[in-house]
Each structure stands twice: as C-alpha cells, then as structure tokens.
C-alpha cells in the first residue's frame, strides 16, 4: 500500500495567505473604480493604478500556477517525495512572491488612503468655500418665504424679500430693501434704509421704518404708516388707514373710504376716491379730499385744504389756513381763536355753508380789496370774491 505523499496545501498559514490575497484583490477592484472616478482630479493616481494592475497580473499568474499544481496533484499521486519536496520549495517561492505582492498592495493601499484623505481634505475646503460664498450671498440676496405662516427677516445688506400666500411677519433689516408681502394678512417693517414695500393682497400692516421709503398697501383694507424720513405712502384698493410720521411725507388713499393723517413734517395728503377722512399734522400740510364726500381738517400749522368733488366738510384747525371746497355743496367749519386769519377761496352762497364755533363777541363783516372779511373775537375769515353785501350774518351758523 502506497502512502499518501500529496503535499498539504491546506495548512492554516497557507490558506490564510491565499484568502488574504483574494480579499485584497477584491478590495483593489473597488479601489480601482474609485480611482477611475477621480482620474481627472489627480494624475498621480494613474501610477498607483498601473502598479495595482501589475500586482493583479501577478496574482493571476499565481492563480494559474496554483491551478497547475492542483492538476498535477490530482493526476499523479505517486510522485516520489523528492519531487514533492521540489514542488514544496516552488510553493514556498510562490508564497514568498505572494507575501511580496501583499506587501506591495499594502503600500499601494497606504498610498490610496493618503490620496483619499487628500481628496477628502480638498472636498472639505471646497465645502468651506461654498459656505463662505453662501454667507456672502446672505448679505445681498433674495429671500423666498416658506410655504406656511412664518417670520422672514432681512440682513444688514440690500435684500429682496418675498412673502408667502400665508400671513407673514417680515422685517427688512438694514439696507435698501425690496419687500413683497404676497397674499395673506401680512405685517411688514421696512427697518433702516430706503425701502420699497408692497403689501400685496390681504389686509396688511406696513411700517416703513427709518429712511425715505415707498410703501403700497395693495388690495385689502391696509394700514400703511411712515417713519423717520420722507415717505411715499399709497393705500391703493380697499378702506385704508395711513399715517405720516417724521419727515415730509406724501400719502394717497387710492380707492375706498380711507383715513389719512399727517405727521410732524410738511405733508401732502390726497384721499383719492371714496369718502375719506383726512387730518393734518404739525407741519404746513397740503390736504386734498379728492372724489367723494370727504372730511378734511387742518392741523397745528398753516395748512392748505381742498375738498375736491363731492359734498365735503373742511375745518382749517389752528393757525392761518386756506380752504377751497371744490364742486358740490361744501361746509366750512371754524373755531374762533384770537389772532388767527383764514381764507375761503370759493364760497358759494347758493350751495355752501359756514359754521363758526366758540364765538362770544359780535360779528362784523367788511369789504376788502380781496373780498368780504368776517371778524369775530379777533379771529378773521376772508371770503374771496364776495362783498359784505353778499355775505350777511344770516349765512353764518354759530355753535
């Protein structure tokens, strides 16, 4: 009986070396795919790939050698021990070659890891640069609102802010901002800078803030208020409320029955269409009712009032005012204040009415070069184009 002298290629060390070589070859295949993706970014990787390909060729040769040895073992189990010893020596050489290949691949793996780390660092640097660019864009950039009710705030730069279809809270911040509230009942503050604000649809509340601002209420019943600076305020459609503040402001109610007020500067206010209520402030204001039956009252300085079309009521307020009723039947109202002098430019004896509040003393009517002058308690009212004969005490209602 012949002893089994087949070389033992299944010992643990050899098997582990074979498995390690196979695993590393598989890993090398994956790395090769990664290297192919980075081909354009790093030309040095080509050399590493060439070395890995050479190693893979060596591995294929080793696999062929192993297959040949296995075939020889199956075909000839009766070879003498010396031949097997020679084969063992050859296998040892192959194992040494495999170890060398493993060492080479380990070196390649280290190089690959270094390259991957470098690429990751480059990617991190690119991400940081992108973040910096995003931060720069935040200073000057468009901000789109979210799709739900929320708050949107601008930056210290010049912003373009658009609200949503919901009820938004929008703050412009510093800079010359452009703000559009969109649909919904929005609350908008311009902040600092010369801002352009549009409320859009809905019942909006707008405060222009500090700066020379332009604000449009849009559709709906809006509140549009000025701030510090010379502002232009437009109520547009709807029954709007608008208040001037510091600065010389201009306010236009637009369509609807509006309530408009002056501030501390020399303001220009036009009620537009509708039956409007207009009040002057603490400057020399120019107040016009526009179309409709308006109530127009001066403030604490020398104001100019115009009723426009419609049956208007005009009250000069304090100091020396000029009042023009316009078309239709108008009512002029005065409160007696000593030392003041007012002027009515178009009193129509057939249609208009005159009301004097707080009179104590007697009334006198005299002719002047400019018209009939009514005096009561040191308060004078000049009616241009009339004479004392035209205007009598019966034409005045004292209350």
Number of domains making up the chain: 2
Whether residue 112 is found in the same domain as residue 179: no
Q: What is the CATH number of the domain that holds 360?
A: 2.150.10
| Domain end call among 81, 109, 139 | 139
Residue 21 burial (CB < 10 Å; 0-12/13-18/19+)?
Answer: buried
**C-alpha of 244 from chain center:** 25
What is the DSSP secondary-structure string of 109-152? Answer: HHHHHHHHHHHHHHHHHHHHHHHHHHHHHHHS-EEEPPSSS-EE
Average pLDDT score over residue span 256-269: 97
Average pLDDT, the chain: 77
Whole-angstrom Cα distance, residue 250 to residue 267? Answer: 6
Average pLDDT score over residue span 114-128: 47
The pLDDT assigned to 338 comes to 85
The pLDDT assigned to 135 comes to 44
Q: What is the pLDDT of residues 286-300, one digit of tens each?
A: 999 999 999 999 999
The pLDDT assigned to 394 comes to 86
Answer yes or no: is 229 within a domain: yes
For the CA atoms of 138, 141, 144, 149, the dihedral, rounded to the nearest 10 degrees, stands at: 50
Q: What is the pLDDT of residues 228-245, one digit of tens each?
A: 999 999 999 999 999 999
Structure tokens at 43: 């030309």
Q: What is the pLDDT of residues 292-340, one digit of tens each?
A: 999 999 999 999 999 999 999 999 999 999 999 999 999 999 999 989 9
The pLDDT assigned to 63 comes to 44
Q: Considering only 105-119, 137-151, 192-206, 379-393, which range has the smallest mean pLDDT?
A: 105-119
Contacts by residues 175-179 (CB-CB < 8 Å, ≥ 24 positions apart): 175/140, 176/211, 179/154
The pLDDT assigned to 143 comes to 54
In the predicted model, is pLDDT for residue 16 greater than 90? no
Contacts by residues 29-35 (CB-CB < 8 Å, ≥ 24 positions apart): 31/109, 31/112, 34/116, 35/112
Contact 176, 158 (CB under 8 A): yes
Whether residue 300 is found in the same domain as residue 184: yes
In the predicted model, is pLDDT for residue 191 greater than 70? yes
The pLDDT assigned to 110 comes to 46
Q: Note if the pTM is more than 0.85.
A: no
Q: What is the pLDDT of residues 46-98, one digit of tens each?
A: 454 444 445 445 544 444 444 443 444 444 444 443 444 444 444 444 444 44
Whether residue 212 is found in the same domain as residue 114: no
Answer yes or no: is 5 within a domain: no
User: How far are the Cα atoms of 118, 128, 129, 143, 183 from residue 132, in angstroms, in the given order?
Assistant: 21, 6, 5, 17, 33
What is the domain extent for residue 44? 12-139
Answer yes or no: is 2 within a domain: no
Whether residue 162 is found in the same domain as residue 81: no
Whether residue 133 is found in the same domain as residue 160: no
pLDDT category at 116 given cuts 50, 70, 90 is very low
């Amino acid at each position: 009986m012949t002893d089994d002298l087949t070389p033992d290629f299944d010992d643990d060390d050899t098997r582990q070396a074979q498995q390690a070589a196979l695993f590393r070859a598989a890993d090398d295949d994956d790395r090769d795919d990664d290297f192919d993706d980075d081909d354009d970014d790093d030309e040095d990787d080509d050399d590493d790939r060439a070395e890995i390909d050479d190693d893979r060729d060596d591995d294929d040769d080793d696999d062929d050698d192993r297959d040949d040895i296995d075939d020889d073992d199956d075909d000839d189990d009766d070879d003498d021990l010396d031949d097997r010893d020679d084969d063992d020596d050859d296998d040892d050489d192959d194992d040494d070659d495999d170890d060398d290949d493993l060492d080479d691949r380990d070196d390649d793996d280290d190089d690959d890891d270094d390259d991957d780390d470098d690429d990751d660092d480059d990617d991190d640097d690119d991400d940081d640069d992108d973040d910096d660019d995003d931060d720069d864009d935040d200073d000057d950039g468009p901000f789109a609102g979210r799709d739900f009710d929320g708050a949107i705030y601008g930056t210290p730069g010049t912003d373009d802010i658009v609200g949503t279809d919901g009820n938004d809270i929008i703050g412009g911040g510093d800079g010359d901002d452009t703000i559009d509230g969109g649909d919904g009942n929005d609350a908008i503050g311009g902040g600092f800078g010369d801002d352009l604000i549009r409320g859009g649809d809905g019942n909006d509340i707008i405060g222009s803030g500090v700066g020379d601002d332009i604000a449009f209420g849009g559709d709906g019943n809006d509140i549009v208020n000025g701030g510090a600076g010379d502002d232009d305020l437009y109520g547009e459609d709807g029954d709007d409320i608008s208040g001037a503040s510091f600065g010389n402001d201009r306010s236009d109610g637009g369509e609807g029955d509006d309530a408009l007020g002056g501030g501390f500067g020399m303001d220009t206010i036009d009620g537009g269409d509708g039956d409007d209520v207009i009040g002057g402030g603490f400057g020399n204001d120019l107040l016009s009712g526009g179309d409709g039956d308006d109530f127009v009252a001066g403030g604490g300085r020398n104001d100019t009032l115009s009723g426009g079309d419609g049956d208007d009521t005009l009250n000069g307020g304090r100091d020396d005012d000029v009042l023009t009723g316009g078309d239709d039947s108008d009512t002029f109202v005065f409160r007696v204040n000593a030392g003041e002098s007012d002027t009515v430019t178009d009193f129509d004896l057939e249609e208009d009415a005159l009301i004097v509040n707080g009179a104590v003393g007697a009334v006198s009517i005299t002719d002047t070069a400019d018209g009939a002058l009514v005096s009561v308690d040191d308060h004078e009212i000049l009616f241009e184009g009339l004479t004392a004969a035209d205007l009598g005490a019966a034409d005045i209602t004292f209350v």
